[in-house]
Structure 1
Amino acid sequence: MNQIKPPQKDAYSLILDAIDVGVFRPGDRLVESDLADRFGVSRTPIREALQRLETQSLLARDGRSLIVASLDHNQMAELYVVRTELEGLAARLAARHATEEEVQVLRDMVIEDRALLSDPAALARTNRRFHKQIHLTSHNRYLVQQLDLVYRSMALMATTSLAAQGRGANALEEHLAIVDAIARRDEDAAYAALRDHISAAFVTRLKQDSQGLAEE
C-alpha cells in the first residue's frame, strides 16, 4: 500500500513558521539566496513569499533590505486591545461549548507547565499552546482564524512577558482560574478571567519596555 505523504509547505509558510517560532526575530535581515538555501527551494517562490509578508506588514524595508518587522508602543497597545476582546470571547464560548475532555486537557496543561517555571522560553511556547486550546474549545472557526492573525503579529514582539520575575507562576495561577471558570460553565467569569490574564501580561510587558529589559 502506498503511503500518503503530507503536503510540503510552501515558501511563505516556511518563512512564516520560522518567524513564528523565533528563528527569525524582529530586526533580522532576510536575504533571498540565504532563505532559498535554508529551505531548499528556488529564489522565485522565496521572492514572492517575501513580497506577501511585506504586504502583511510582517516584514519592513530597511534601505534595500527586508527585515522582520517590530511593533512600536502604539501598535503593541492596539494589538493588546484586540487580543483582549477576542480572547475573552473565546473563553466565554469555551465555557458554553467545552466538552469534559477538553476541560481536562486544559487542566492537564496547567499542571504540566509548572515544571517549566525556570525556563521562560519553554513556558512561552506552552503558554501559546494553552491559549490555542482555548481558541479551539470555543468551537468557532471564524474566531480561531482571527486569533491566529493576532498571534502572528504577537511574534513580532522581541520578548516574552513570562521572562519577568514571578510572572510565570502568576500566569499559571491565572490559567487555572480560567479553566475553573470554563469547567463551571460560568461564561462571565471565564471572560473576565481571561481578560484579566491578558491585562496582567500587558502591564508586565509595558514595565519591561520602560525598564529597558528588551532582550534577545
Structure 2
Amino acid sequence: MSNPDSLALERIEQRPQTLRLIALERLRDAILEGRIVPGERLVERTLSDRLGVSRSVIREVIRNLESEGLVETTGSGPRLATINRDETSQVYAIRLQLESAAAAACARKATPEVLRALTAELDAIAQAHAEHKPINALRATNSFYETMFLGGGHTVAWEIVQRLHGRISRLRAMTLSSEQRKADGLSQMREIVSAIKAGDAARAEAACRQHVEGAARQADILLTSRDSEVESV
C-alpha cells in the first residue's frame, strides 16, 4: 500500500472458526469507509500484520473481495477496483427491476413482524446517519432490503442481490457521502414502508423506483465530477 501506517485496521485478537469472515468484514469496511483508495495495492504481508491473521487467510479474503467486484488483479497484484461507469449503470438497472418488484410483493404479503422489522431498520438507519456512522447505516440498509425481499417471498431475487452486495454497498457508501442524498434517501424509504403498510403494491413499486433512480442520479453526478477532476490533472 502507498502508506501502510495510515491504514487503521483493528487487530483480531480472538481466533474463532469464522476468522476469515471477520477479516473479510474488516477489510470490506475499510474499503467502504474510503480508508483504501481506488487503485491502491492490497499487499498480503501488510494486511496480515495489520489484522493479525495468516497470509493464507488474506489470500482467501482478497479472492472473496474480487468475486464481489471490489478488488481487481493486475500484473502488479491485487488492488482496489476503480468504480466503472458502465458497471454502475448495470447495477442500478438490476436494482431498479428487482427492488421495485420486491417492494410490490412485500406490500401484498408482509406480516406484522415484517412491518415492525422494516420500521426498526429505518430507525436504525436514521440513528446511524445522526451519529455519523456510515458502516452502521450500510448494515441497517442491507437488513432493510433483506427484510423487504424475504417478506415479499422474493428469495431467489435476494440471492442475486447478494452476489452484487460489494458493488451495491460501495455505490451506496459513495452516494451517501452527500448529506442531501442521506435525507432524500431516508424519506423515500419511509414512503416505501408507508406504501407496504397500506398494502398498496403499485405505490410501493413506484416509491422504490423513485428511490433507486434518485440514487443512480447521485452516483452519476459524483462519477462525472470524479472524471472531470481526472481530466483536469
- TM-score, with structure 1 as normaliser: 0.78
Q: How many pairs were matched up?
A: 208
1:126 corresponds to: 140
Alignment partner of 1:36 is 2:48: yes
Alignment partner of 1:21 is 2:29: yes
SS in 1 for 2:30: coil
Q: Distance in 2 between matches of 1:195 and 1:166?
A: 18
Deviation at 1:211, TM superposition (A): 3.0
1:59–1:68 Cα contact (<8 Å) kept? yes
Deviation at 1:67, TM superposition (A): 0.8
Deviates more, 1:52-61 or 1:70-79: 52-61
Alignment partner of 1:104 is 2:113: no
2:157 corresponds to: 143
Deviation per residue, 1:6-48 (Å, 9 max, x gap):
962253x345423432356443321222333344433234334
SS in 2 for 1:60: strand
Q: Residue type of the partner of 1:65? A: G
Higher helix proportion, which one? 2
Deviates more, 1:93-102 or 1:18-27: 18-27
Q: Relative contact order (alpha carbons < 8 A, sep ≥ 6): 1 or 2 greater? A: 1
Q: 1:47 to 1:78 in 2, by over 3 A?
A: same
Alignment partner of 1:196 is 2:232: no
Corresponding residue to 1:185 among 199, 218, 221:
199
Deviation per residue, 1:91-119 (Å, 9 max, x gap):
12211221112112212333454445553
Q: Distance in 2 between matches of 1:96 and 1:85?
A: 17
Q: Distance in 2 between matches of 1:142 and 1:203?
A: 27
SS in 2 for 1:93: helix
Deviation at 1:200, TM superposition (A): 0.6
1:161–1:201 Cα contact (<8 Å) kept? yes
1:162 corresponds to: 176
Computed over aligned residues only, the root mean square deviation of the Cα atoms, in angstroms, reads 3.1
1:110–1:176 Cα contact (<8 Å) kept? yes
Which segments of 5 or more consecutive residues in structure 1 lack a partner in the other structure? Answer: 1-5
Q: Distance in 1 between matches of 2:177 and 2:61?
A: 32
- TM-score, with structure 2 as normaliser: 0.74
Q: 1:89 to 1:7 in 2, by over 3 A?
A: farther
Q: Distance in 1 between matches of 2:39 and 2:213?
A: 26
1:3 corresponds to: none
Q: 1:194 to 1:97 in 2, by over 3 A?
A: same
Which segments of 5 or more consecutive residues in structure 2 lack a partner in the other structure? Answer: 1-14, 229-233
